[in-house]
Amino acid sequence: MTSLSTLAPRAVFRSTESTLAILAAAGFAALAIASDGSLLSGSSLETLFTYLAVPVLIGLAQMVALAVGQMNLSVGALGGFVAVAAGSVMAHQGVPAWLAVLGALVLGAAVGAINGLVVVLTQINGFIVTLATMTILTGLQYEVVGTATLSDYSPGLRELGRTSVFHIPVIFLVAIAVAVALAVYLRRAIWGRRLLASGGNPLAARLSGISNNRAIILAHCLSGLLIGVAAVVTLASAPGVNQSIGGDWLLASFAAPIIGGVALSGGAVSVTGTVLAALIVRLVDVARAQFSLDPSWVNFVVGAVVLGTVVITHRRGASA
Amino acid sequence: MSPALSAEKLVKLFPGVRALDGASLRVEPGSVHALLGENGAGKSTLIKILTGVHRPDGGRLEIGGDANEVHLDSPQAAARAGIGVVHQERNLVPEFSVAENIMLQRLPTKGGLLDRAAVRAEARRYLELLELDLDPDRRVRGLPVSQLQLIEVAKALSMDSKVLLLDEPTTASTPSEVDRLFGIIRKLRDGGTAILFVSHKLEEVYDLCDTVTVLRDGVSVLESVPLAELARPQLIEAMVGRAHTVTELPERPPSDANPTLELAGVSTSDGHRDVSLSLHRGEILGLYGLVGSGRTELAKALLGLSPITSGSVRVGGKQVKIHNVREALKKYRIGYVPEDRKEEGLFLEQPVSRNIAVAMWDKLSRRVGGVSAKAERQLADEYVERLGIRLASTGQLAGELSGGNQQKVSLAKWLAAKTEILIIDEPTVGIDVRTKAAFHELIWGLAADGLAVLLITSDLVEMVTLADRIIVMRDFHVCGELVNDHVYDSTSREVMELIHADAPE
């Protein structure tokens, strides 16, 4: 009863989720065979999962925004800004790692809440609001770190980023724990339900005494919090943080939930689908490395798959 | 016995209109009360006050007893006060389970988390009460509309409602679904619930309801009258009213002998059966019927918005098949002035000039493809003067004008497009009496200038004032046609007799 797939027992998702699970398993097996089994070695698995933690987290961050019919374009810029800000206070001001990590989470959630507040107070589309905050945050990120790369911070945190339990990196376990917590929250917590009710049918929600404004602010705040976690994971696992962190997060953040079966119109989420889709995108990247393909090829494939998924979902919705 | 719901002399003002001007009703526990009224009578305003969407500007509202005055300032307040509502449109969260939708207004919790077992148990109670055999864990998406409606009834009851308000609950139902719904309503009634049933289907009202309140022009013309004492013609007469005078309009030149628009045996996918009519240049043909008789739908089918399944349409003597509105306008010169000018007629955020010229842009455009603002203004000025639209300048936004002037802009657009056949749908709903008279003269003048006008209106006075002939519709077919002698008493009686004779007993 508590497995991830029963956390979202919705017929459509079940089919999407099982399709994705089969696809991921098949892809993994194919890559394992193509690499003559070297993918199954401990270090290969560690690499695979280490670089899966951030895509899972930012995918979930986008998913929460999509859940209320919003978008968060500031995913990458916020993650980059939080990462360099926390890295900088650790490296330059000597702030202890635990405090910097806590600060990163609070900062992420706070900026997310501001996104939500601006959307609610101005009644301007979340797309435009987060486009603006994206630009502002990118500027702040450059302001904090300039052209430097910070790598001289908390050895403990960086050690944690390299630690694995049975070849499964701790940071990936963190991402999965966050995913489970989010799934439980959306499934069981009152405000999680209200958020989804508001996304699914704002009018019905309003007539049932649910504040759509609060749901929007909450969704953006949660989205920011998840980005905060992604920033901490980046600090722990990346060789260093600089101005380029977060630059390639935007497409990835949309790819996971959209391929994972999350409705762009809101109200329908799938944590399992989003996690599985992030894994599939990661496997495409592994294949690229395996066969020494051009990196742009990955973007092409992911972009095409996202577009294809949207078209198929739209068709399915229209015929239903 | 004290009434479950009592509204006394409710008043609601909107800019320029008194939507409610002393509306009263009393609903007793254990009875079904019908609320009737034609378009613009104030029915929906009253419903919005009862459901906490609008606040009244005057009057008194009591729930559950004579002294218990309530002020409903939100939909939740209405629900807490004991008014459960099933709206005309479905309002459920598609991805949520049946049980959670029913309990959405007061989700039970345990330790800060949703108590699923309690949600299920509570919801099952209401499902059983309604004899609804549904898995409470089933997702709502994909369920048939009739079941969604019953789920909403369960949801409305979940707040321990003393009054259940059903707003046009049978518009999308099959006869067997209606039977089932009525069975449930009777069961709830016998259990002591007061039911307020809003409908325009008189057969259903007579079948189900005990008492009736009729609104007209924002006033209760019949207040909580037992239906057993009320014959159908009396009820219809109360709805459409008779204490009005018909304005005399000058003579018009006779209309053309040959019809410019001719329908023969037309059936549509909306359910029209065997509709025939002919419209001549210089004539005003009225299309009368109670709300829901299929008049607007017929107009929209003519414009190609829904398919015509059989029969023939002739324009200027030639048989045609109109595929879309663009074709109707450009090729056959048929224009449609919609009832809902704010939603369908105007671009409220755009200047008046652009609103008038929009259908003429391809004529006004210059070689490079741009539209000259000057040409737009000239065109707009011409029609502003011709229709007597009151505004500061044609650069003013359409949304800033009063209702009557907005309607004139909506009309000007089609005149500017040089239409030859104009369908005008409920032209004076929500417009004050004086502007109404000016509008009537305007429509009269258009016909005198040779336009063929198909007039749809629920206002029988307006119909008797303007129409040359009146086609009477009921339940998506024509039940009669008569020549209008512009004498209200005789014509209105004839119209009512046609509707009445056609209605099933």
- Residues A298 and A301: their CA atoms lie apart, in Å, by 5
> Sign of the C-alpha dihedral, residues B417, B422, B425, B426?
positive
pLDDT at B64: 81
The residues that bridge with B275 in the sheet, in sequence order, are B266
**pLDDT tens for each residue of A230-244:** 999 999 998 888 888
- pLDDT(B359) > 80: no
- Helix A295-319 to helix A249-259 angle (10° resolution) is 40
* Of A241, A274, A270, the residue nearest A58 (C-alpha): A274
* Of B362, B316, B282, B404, the residue nearest B15 (C-alpha): B404
**Rounded percentage of chain B residues whose pLDDT exceeds 70:** 94
Rg of chain B in Å (alpha carbons):
25
Element at A41 (helix H, strand E) = none
Strands across the sheet with B17-27, in order? B17-27, B5-14, B58-63
Inter-chain residue contact A201 with B94, CB threshold 8 Å:
yes
Average pLDDT of the residues of chain B: 85
Pair B84, B159: CB distance under 8 Å: yes
Cα distances (angstroms) measured from residue B438 to each of B123, B351, B435 = 56, 23, 5
Cα distances (angstroms) measured from residue B324 to each of B45, B308, B330 = 34, 12, 10
Cα distances (angstroms) measured from residue A12 to each of A233, A268, B183, B401 = 32, 10, 34, 48
Q: Chain A residues with CB inside 8 Å of B75's CB? A: 206-207, 209
- Residues A262 and A63: their CA atoms lie apart, in Å, by 7
Inter-chain residue contact A11 with B105, CB threshold 8 Å:
no
Residue type present at position B151: I
Task: Determine the distance in angstroms separating the CA of B299 from the nearest CA of chain A, rounded to an integer.
Answer: 27
Give the chain B residue whose CA is nearest to the CA of A263: B95
DSSP letters along B72-135, please?
A: --SHHHHHHHTEEEE-SS----TTSBHHHHHTGGG--EETTEE-HHHHHHHHHHHHHHTT----
Q: Chain B residues with CB inside 8 Å of A193's CB? A: 96, 100, 107, 114
Q: Which one-letter DSSP state was computed for residue B397?
A: B
pLDDT at A26: 87
**Nearest CB partner across the interface for B96, out of A11, A197, A203:** A197
- pLDDT(B236) > 60: yes
Q: Which two tokens stand for residue A99?
A: 């405090």
> Where do the domains of chain A lie?
46-247
Q: Which two tokens stand for residue A302?
A: 């992911």
**pLDDT tens for each residue of B270-311:** 889 999 999 999 999 999 987 778 898 999 999 888 889 999
Task: Determine the distance in angstroms separating the CA of A258 from the nearest CA of chain B, rounded to an integer.
Answer: 17
- Residues B165 and B157: their CA atoms lie apart, in Å, by 10
Residue appearing with tokens 């935007």: A250
pLDDT at A220: 95
Q: Chain A residues with CB inside 8 Å of B139's CB? A: 10-11
**pLDDT tens for each residue of B432-472:** 666 777 888 888 988 988 899 999 988 888 888 899 999 99
Local confidence band at A5 (pLDDT 50, 70, 90 cut-offs) = very low
Q: How many interchain CB pairs under 8 A, A with B?
A: 61
Element at A95 (helix H, strand E) = none
**pLDDT tens for each residue of A119-157:** 999 988 889 999 999 999 999 999 988 888 888 888 888
Q: Which of B53, B73, B74, B104 should one mutate to test binding to chain A, selecting the residue with the greatest count of A CBs within 10 A? A: B104
* Of B306, B253, B303, B260, the residue nearest B281 (C-alpha): B260
- Residues B407 and B410: their CA atoms lie apart, in Å, by 5
Inter-chain residue contact B93 with A197, CB threshold 8 Å:
yes
Q: What is the mean pLDDT of residues A59-75?
A: 94
Residue appearing with tokens 């339900």: A193
ipTM of the prediction:
0.79
Q: Which two tokens stand for residue A102?
A: 């806590």
DSSP letters along B426-471, please?
A: STTTT--HHHHHHHHHHHHHHHHTT-EEEEE-S-HHHHHHH-SEEE
Domains in chain B (CATH in brackets) are 5-240 (3.40.50.300), 243-333+419-505 (3.40.50.300), 340-418 (no CATH)
Scored b (16 or more CB within 10 A) or e, B65-98 reads eeeeebebeebbebbbbbbbbbbeebbbbbbbbb
